[in-house]
Structure 1
Amino acid sequence: MAFSTRLLSKSRQLYGSQAILRADATDPVRFYSKEAAPPSLKGDEMLKNIFLEVKNKFETALGVFRKEKFTIDPDDPAAVSQYANVMKTVREKAGLFSESQRIQYTIQTRTRDIPDVRTYLLTLKEIRIKRGLTDEHGAEAMMMDALEKVEKEIKKPLMRDDTKSMAILTAEFDKINKKLGIWKEDLPKYEEQLELKIAKAQLEELKKDALEAMETQSKREEFKDEQMPDVKSLDVRNFI
């Protein structure tokens, strides 16, 4: 059971930082109660419902892991893809967000009350950094330059409800996307690439944990003379 707990804790889509409690809001419990709990619920009852939901999702995730088999080999693209598919099954069964959905949800909850575009873009940058995502193409700087251009033209800070000026900025952003070779129709592909990247990182952590567990076990007196198996050959279901 110890390994299964680490398995879930390493999987951000499952438990710890997943939006089981809609936890990407600034105040997760408050936001959860606002969105999901009837106004008549008292504090203790609301927390009880939240706990039961977390428990059910956790048990659902464990149930999938008990049935699905995957190889702990982050260097094998096929193993990474296999693990990503297992994680997708877990999300579908437990009703969890994918990483891209979670990022989108975070953006929506963090920015919905922001009136001006500059603060909005700076908040997007904070979210990106917090998520450990890199701005490889310098898109943020380009977007800020585009904003500077529009604000210089309208001679005031650009507000998000300024439909006419926002259309100008959107046109500038379209130019940036075209320059970077980013197309809306390719978004599913980008999301898949992100999920594979995350799956690889999680497998690397799981491999590290498995090796540490086997090393600890090999030091125990009853296992000293036994040959430890290759981590790639382990069936994770045996640890859950």
Structure 2
Amino acid sequence: MNCFDKKEILKNIFVEVKNKFETALGIFRKEKITIDPDDPAAVSQYANVMKTVREKAGLFSESQRIKYTIETRTQGIPDVRTYLLTLKEIRSKYVNPYFSVNFPLSGKRGLTDELGAEAMMMGALDKVEKEIKKPLMRDDKKSMALLTAEFDKINKKLGIRKEDLPKYEEQLELKIAKAQLEELKKDALEAMETQKKREEFKDEAMPDVKSLDIRNFI
């Protein structure tokens, strides 16, 4: 690849990013966003706006982003145990790249395993490896079928069904939307507090965050 080709690639990447940014900005200029993370309607509206941004700008949803991260991080891992441990690491360290927020809002970095599914999955792996008397490899189709059967039992126990995955994705997007609104509210309050300390604004009442129209600041 010559120097000209590299420059052309970089140029195309820049143009693509620029177009995505302008598309997103155009949507934010049109849509009313209420900074009220405690109002389910405001959270739902914000989630819908972000969904529109992703669709129009060709961006990943959080579920797609997590899936992509898993695929890239686990590519080439031969054994199931390392694969599951890598999934755990991804979950525990996962942070939204656009907002430094936690999901759920637990004060901890990453996604929480509230159902204890990871421990159950490792238990299932222990059971299968004990049965086959060797580490389980991902290309061992016969033994992987045993593990899949164990995972199906876990899903049934936890009440997780494949047909409900869209619902889980929607719930995740709403949690993320709420967390992002929390972040926006925090930033807005901090900005207003800073402004209030200035001499020319010290006697002015600060507006309610919910009354702010983000479109006026873009």
Bin of the TM-score, shorter chain as denominator length: 0.7 to 0.9
**Superposed displacement of residue 43, structure 1:** 3.3
**Superposed displacement of residue 225, structure 1:** 2.9
Q: Does structure 1 residue 234 correspond to structure 2 residue 191?
A: no
Counterpart of 2:188, as a letter, is A
**TM-score normalised according to structure 1 size:** 0.80
* Partner secondary structure for residue 125 of structure 2: helix
Match of 1:51 in 2: 14
**Superposed displacement of residue 219, structure 1:** 2.6
Q: C-alpha separation between the residues in 2 aligned to 1:180 and 1:42?
A: 52
**Superposed displacement of residue 211, structure 1:** 1.0
**Superposed displacement of residue 51, structure 1:** 2.3
Counterpart of 1:122, as a letter, is L
**Superposed displacement of residue 176, structure 1:** 0.4
Q: C-alpha separation between the residues in 2 aligned to 1:56 and 1:136?
A: 39
Gaps spanning 5+ residues in structure 1: where? 1-38
**TM-score normalised according to structure 2 size:** 0.88
**Superposed displacement of residue 48, structure 1:** 2.8
Gaps spanning 5+ residues in structure 2: where? 95-109
**Superposed displacement of residue 62, structure 1:** 1.1
Q: Does structure 1 residue 71 correspond to structure 2 residue 49?
A: no
* Partner secondary structure for residue 77 of structure 2: coil
Match of 1:181 in 2: 159
Q: C-alpha separation between the residues in 1 aligned to 2:140 and 2:154?
A: 21
User: How many aligned residue pairs are there?
Assistant: 202
Q: After superposition, what is the alpha-carbon deviation per residue over 1:191-225, rounded to whole angstroms, capped at 9, x for unaligned?
A: 01111111111100100111112222223333333
Counterpart of 2:143, as a letter, is S
Correspondence 1:38-187 to 2 at 5 A: 42-131=5-94, 132-187=110-165
- What's the C-alpha RMSD, in Å, of the aligned pairs? 1.5
Q: After superposition, what is the alpha-carbon deviation per residue over 1:112-168, rounded to whole angstroms, capped at 9, x for unaligned?
A: 211111111111111101111111111111111111111111111111111111111
Q: C-alpha separation between the residues in 1 aligned to 2:92 and 2:7?
A: 35
* Partner secondary structure for residue 156 of structure 1: coil
